[in-house]
Amino acid sequence: QVQLVQSGGEVKKPGASVRVSCRASGYTLIHYPISWVRQAPGQGLEWMGFIRDYNGNTDYAQNFQGRVTITTDTSTSTVHLDLRSLTSDDTAVYYCARGGIPPRYSGTWQFWGQGTLVTVSS
């Protein structure tokens, strides 16, 4: 069965970078797009970006342009989210989520990781 298992929680200082990983099993990673979505404390859901299935290209939300990178390691079936120049506003639970195919379903997420809490604090 399809599973997305994320790396553990992180505590970072302002200005640092963080990597959150999402290991996929039960299907071939590059056959489906993967998005990252976060939820800050007391806030709603926010889409950060995704990596496409068919060509590996990425798209990022404007709020994160220049600070975020999503990559895929096919050897370990893992997608990584790298976020730089952290501030306290980046304290949130980060989720990976698998989109569907064809492309009109890229943003429809039936499968999710369990979430990773990233805390940014001095």
Partner 1 sequence: DIQMTQSPSSLSASLGDRVTITCRASQTISNYLNWYQHKPGKAPHLVIDTASTLQSGVPSRFSGSGSGTEFSLTISSLQPEDFATYYCQQTYTIPYTFGQGTKLEIK
The contact mask relative to partner 1 for 75-104 (x = CB under 8 A, - = no) is --------------------x-x------x
CB of 41 to partner 1, least distance (A): 11
99 SS3 class:
coil
Which of 78/95 has CB closer to partner 1?
A: 95
Q: Are 98 and 6 in contact (CB under 8 A)?
A: no
Residue 51 binds partner 1, judged by CB under 8 A:
no
Q: Are 21 and 119 in contact (CB under 8 A)?
A: no
Sequence letter at residue 79: V
SS3 breakdown of the chain: % helix, strand, coil, rounded to 5? 10, 45, 45
**Widest Cα–Cα separation across the chain:** 44
Residue 71 binds partner 1, judged by CB under 8 A:
no
CA–chain centroid gap for 67, Å, is 13
Report the alpha-carbon distance of residue 115 to residue 20 in Å, rounded: 10
Q: Which of 2, 5, 11, 45 binds partner 1 (CB under 8 A)?
A: 45
Residue 2 binds partner 1, judged by CB under 8 A:
no
- Total site size for partner 1, rule CB under 8 A: 22
Residue 36 binds partner 1, judged by CB under 8 A:
no
The binding site for partner 1 (CB under 8 A) comprises 35, 37, 44-47, 59, 61-62, 95, 97, 104-110, 112-115
